[in-house]
Structure 1
Amino acid sequence: MSKFDHIRPFYDTEVNEAICSVVDHPMMKALMSFAFPDVDEAVWVQQLRKTHSKRDFQINFIYHAVQKVLEKSSEGLTTSGFEKLEPHTPYLFISNHRDIILDTSLLNVSLYDHGLVMTASAIGDNLVQKTFLHVLSRLNRNFLVQRNLPPRELLQSSKLMSEYICQLLNRENRSVWIAQREGRTKDGDDATQQGVLKMLAMGSDEKNLMHYFKKLKIVPVSISYEYDPTDMLKMPQLLAKAKDEIYIKEKNEDFITLLSGIMGQKKRIHIHVGDMLTDDLDKIADEFDNQNKQIQALAQVIDESILTTYKLWPTNYIAYDLLNDTTRFSKYYTDKEKQLFERRLEMRIDNDNKVLREGFLAMYANPVANKMKYQNAI
């Protein structure tokens, strides 16, 4: 027994048994039929039953499913920055977070295509309540972030996760993906939560925290979708926030959002891998003695990397101009692109509701506003 057993992915010795336990599940059939529409069911069932490692499952099955998602729901994925990464080297990828499943799935497809180490990825346990999803997540090298715990248990859980991330990176030679914040960014205003960095710091037994973070090989990642397929689904939560009300999720809301994110139209997608943080960490260590100030400074460094390298699409510029009643960025989009976006706005929300309209536009406009904070970023 390992202390990580309740959060870790399957060991390879457990993979075949886990696959066989769900191979006849309706959701597995739906997933495989989607990934391999021209392949007889008996063929992929036989291949699944022969699978004995997470890597084989990811490469032979999940990779093809993600490619199919890209084909059906996007106009393609582009990447930049991956050439800076070293093969066989594990990194800690800290990313902005837009989509529950696809952010990390698309990163892993890109890492595999570039011959790099794929990631183990953090996922909230609230998203894998259904038995099939829990098994699938563990096969796909996800580890669980425990949500909604009392303060003392939350502290213990955070320390355990920090130790596990450290073990993955330093002992198992496995890259790790983690979002810069708890949960997806609902309003497009990406910012690193210091709590995430404090969690990572719990695994350190060094006096020099920045030296420890250097060992983790932190690489900021920005991912941007031209259209957010869950933009409309985020509106009730933003509306509750505007009214200063507590938002209570509907039953199965996470699952509906998960499916909408996967299959909804995204148009173009871009992933940028930033520079590994080394010199910045040295500067922070030299400038600040206080660990809280070091973590605050590190959050700002990660934010700058993500926000300045975030790929802006016509939808972002259109939303900024509409929200601010300006034509400042009109050179970045066509009249047709603007009409299509305004049509989407009309179809997805009540345009007469000022809070909803501004919330919807801000979701797309905030990346522009954030990039404008940095000189020459646009």
Structure 2
Amino acid sequence: MSKFDHIRPFYDSEVNEAICGAVHHPMMKALMSFAFPDVDAETWEKQLKKTHSKRDFQINFIYPAVQKVLQKSSEGLTTSGFEKLDVHTPYLFISNHRDIILDTSLLNVSLHDHGQIMTASAIGDNLVQKPFLHTLSRLNRNFLVQRGLPPRELLQSSRLMSEYVSQLVLRENRSVWIAQREGRTKDGNDATHQGVLKMLAMAADEDNLMQYFKKIKIVPVSISYEYDPTDALKMPMLMAQANDEVYVKEKNEDFNTLLSGIMGQKKRIHIHVCDVLSNELDVIANEFDNQNRQIQALAQVLDDAILSTYRLWPTNYIAYDLLNKTTRFKDKYTEREKSLFERRLEMRIDADNKTLHNGFLAMYANPVVNKMKYQNAE
């Protein structure tokens, strides 16, 4: 047994058996009917049963499903920066995190479209409690991040995951995706949690931590949705924070959020991949001896890369103007775009609840505030 067995995706030798065990599950039927509405069940079942690798499963079944999601719930995905990546080189992609499933799914669709190595992707074990979802995640090359552990077990789990990421990139020639923070950004302020970087650093065998980070080739990624399909669902947690209360999730909340993220309207989506971090890491190594200070500086470098390349949409500028009762960015949107956004706000948020109302607007407006630090309010 491998020490990674309880967190890793399936090996290709396990794929066919897993598929055959899940092929008649109602959720598999729903997924295939969605991805292939004009194909009868017998045909896709036959194709599934002939599948013996994660790559074939991803390309022949998940890729068309994601394309269908884009077709039904967006006005298209655009990308930039992918042409700078080498098709044979594995990278560690660290991105902002807005949607449970789509952030990594859309990155992989884009990598595949550019002929590049698709990722193994981190996913919280809280999201795959249902056996079918666990199977599907392992088929789709996800590895598990264990949540809610006591401190000692959390340390062991972090060390294991760090080793696994290192093995994937340096020995298995596999790119990896991980979010810059645990959990999705709820308030529009994308920020790298130093804990994520400390976890990754655990596998470093060099005295010079930055040399290790150079070896695993970190690529910051920014992803932005014109409409956040789960915007209203994020409000109860923000409300609890505003009232200084502990937020307790409803039963099945993660699963419902996952579905809303997939099927909710997103309008336009953009993914930008930044340059591989290299010179920045040399500067950090030269400036700081202390590893904690180095981690702090690296988190700032990631934030700078992600925030400065984040694509702003009319919705962001509209929310900024509404929240601040200004017309500062009125040339960035049309009256029609503004009235559509106001209609969305009206339908999703109780106008009498000022905290919710302003929280909803701030979620869309904060990326503008953050971008202004880099671009002089473009």
Tell me the TM-score normalised to structure 2 length. Answer: 0.99
SS of 1:374's equivalent in the other structure is helix
Q: Which residue is 2:109 aligned to?
A: 109
> What CA distance in whole angstroms lies between the structure 2 residues aligned with 1:324 and 1:55?
48
2:249 matched to 1:249?
yes
Amino acid at match of 1:282: D
Pairwise CA RMSD: 0.6
> What CA distance in whole angstroms lies between the structure 2 residues aligned with 1:352 and 1:88?
55
Amino acid at match of 1:372: M
> What CA distance in whole angstroms lies between the structure 2 residues aligned with 1:119 and 1:160?
18
Q: Deviations over 1:310-334 (max 9, x none)?
A: 0000000000111111111111000
Q: Which residue is 1:187 aligned to?
A: 187
**How do 1:1-378 and structure 2 match up within 5 A?**
1-376=1-376, 378=378
> What CA distance in whole angstroms lies between the structure 2 residues aligned with 1:362 and 1:341?
13
> What CA distance in whole angstroms lies between the structure 2 residues aligned with 1:317 and 1:375?
14
1:45 is displaced (CA, Å) by 0.1
Q: Deviations over 1:307-363 (max 9, x none)?
A: 000000000000011111111111100011000101100000101111001100011
1:157 is displaced (CA, Å) by 0.2
1:308–1:377 Cα contact (<8 Å) kept: no
Amino acid at match of 2:256: I
> What CA distance in whole angstroms lies between the structure 1 residues aligned with 2:52 and 2:212?
35
1:205 is displaced (CA, Å) by 1.6
SS of 1:269's equivalent in the other structure is strand
Amino acid at match of 1:364: Y
2:229–2:260 Cα contact (<8 Å) kept: yes
> What CA distance in whole angstroms lies between the structure 2 residues aligned with 1:326 and 1:136?
47
Unpaired runs of at least 5, structure 1: none
SS of 1:75's equivalent in the other structure is strand
Amino acid at match of 1:22: A
Q: Deviations over 1:19-68 (max 9, x none)?
A: 00100000000000000000111000000000000000000000000000
Amino acid at match of 1:140: N
> What CA distance in whole angstroms lies between the structure 1 residues aligned with 2:4 and 2:303?
30
> What CA distance in whole angstroms lies between the structure 2 residues aligned with 1:146 and 1:161?
9
Amino acid at match of 1:227: Y
1:178 is displaced (CA, Å) by 0.1
1:146–1:157 Cα contact (<8 Å) kept: yes
Q: Deviations over 1:206-250 (max 9, x none)?
A: 110000000010000000000001001011000000000000000
1:259 is displaced (CA, Å) by 0.2
1:220–1:274 Cα contact (<8 Å) kept: yes
Unpaired runs of at least 5, structure 2: none
> What CA distance in whole angstroms lies between the structure 2 residues aligned with 1:117 and 1:189?
29
> What CA distance in whole angstroms lies between the structure 2 residues aligned with 1:113 and 1:32?
21
Amino acid at match of 1:264: G
SS of 2:121's equivalent in the other structure is strand
1:122–1:145 Cα contact (<8 Å) kept: yes
Q: Deviations over 1:148-179 (max 9, x none)?
A: 00000000000000000000000100000000
1:377 is displaced (CA, Å) by 6.6
Amino acid at match of 1:371: K
2:120–2:175 Cα contact (<8 Å) kept: yes
Tell me the TM-score normalised to structure 1 length. Answer: 0.99
> What CA distance in whole angstroms lies between the structure 2 residues aligned with 1:358 and 1:293?
35
Amino acid at match of 1:193: H
How many residues align structurally?
378
> What CA distance in whole angstroms lies between the structure 2 residues aligned with 1:323 and 1:293?
36
1:315–1:341 Cα contact (<8 Å) kept: yes
SS of 2:374's equivalent in the other structure is coil
Q: Deviations over 1:61-115 (max 9, x none)?
A: 0000000000000000000000000011100000000000000000000000000
Q: Which stretches of structure 1, 4 residues or longer, exceed 4 Å deviation after superposition?
A: none
1:375 is displaced (CA, Å) by 4.0
1:192 is displaced (CA, Å) by 0.2
> What CA distance in whole angstroms lies between the structure 1 residues aligned with 2:55 and 2:111?
13
Distance 1:309 1:88, change over 3 A: same
> What CA distance in whole angstroms lies between the structure 2 residues aligned with 1:308 and 1:227?
19
